[in-house]
């Protein structure tokens, strides 16, 4: 397991906003399952991943499979929110400094995407208002 992946797993066991921000490259890019344009820059990637922490908290989120190839990994996850089973993958690429440079999330089924769009939108809006 790469150092970057080990840090990610440690973060997932004990989420910390400071640790999350420290893992992100300045020019990191986030690919959302519901937003058609890539979100670029550490602050935007942080906003999305931090919001996901809140949305998935208490959902039984867990990784069930991982495929690792050098500086990149595909981590399949499951969760359940409001009775909706969520299945998805996080595809992460680390840069030469071991920081997350690219983070892509893919989710199924459509019902799960709709629920995440609703909850993530509300969480991002709440975070923006409190900033």
| pLDDT the model gives residue 1 | 60
Question: How much is the average pLDDT of 8-33?
Answer: 95
Alpha helices in the chain (DSSP H): 3-13, 17-23, 42-56, 110-130
| pLDDT the model gives residue 46 | 96
Split into its structural domains, the chain has a count of: 1
129 lies in some domain: no
| pLDDT the model gives residue 124 | 87
127 lies in some domain: no
| Residue 89 pLDDT level (bands cut at 50, 70, 90) | very high
Q: What is the pLDDT of residues 43-63, one digit of tens each?
A: 999 999 999 999 998 889 999
Q: Is the pLDDT of residue 79 over 90?
A: yes
| Residue 129 pLDDT level (bands cut at 50, 70, 90) | confident
What φ, ψ does residue 47 adopt, rounded to 5°? -60, -45
Question: How much is the average pLDDT of 4-30?
Answer: 95
113 lies in some domain: yes
Quote the domain boundaries for residue 52: 3-122
130 lies in some domain: no
Give the CATH number, domain containing residue 118: 3.10.450.50
| pLDDT the model gives residue 100 | 98
Average pLDDT value over all residues in the chain: 94
Max Cα-Cα span within the chain? 40
104 lies in some domain: yes
The percent of residues in the chain predicted with pLDDT above 70, rounded, is 98
Other CB atoms within 10 Å distance of the CB of residue 96: 8
């Amino acid at each position: 397991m790469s150092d970057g992946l080990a840090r990610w797993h440690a973060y997932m066991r004990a989420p910390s906003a400071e640790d999350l921000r420290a893992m992100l490259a300045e020019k990191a890019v986030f690919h959302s399952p519901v937003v058609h344009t890539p979100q670029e820059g550490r602050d935007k990637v942080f906003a999305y991943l931090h919001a996901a922490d809140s949305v998935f908290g208490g959902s039984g989120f867990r990784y069930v499979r991982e495929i690792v190839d050098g500086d990149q990994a595909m981590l399949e996850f499951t969760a359940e929110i409001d009775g909706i089973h969520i299945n998805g993958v996080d595809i992460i690429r680390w840069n030469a400094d071991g920081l997350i440079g690219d983070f892509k999330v893919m989710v199924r089924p459509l019902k799960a995407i709709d629920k995440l769009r609703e909850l993530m939108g509300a969480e991002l809006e709440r975070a923006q208002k409190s900033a």
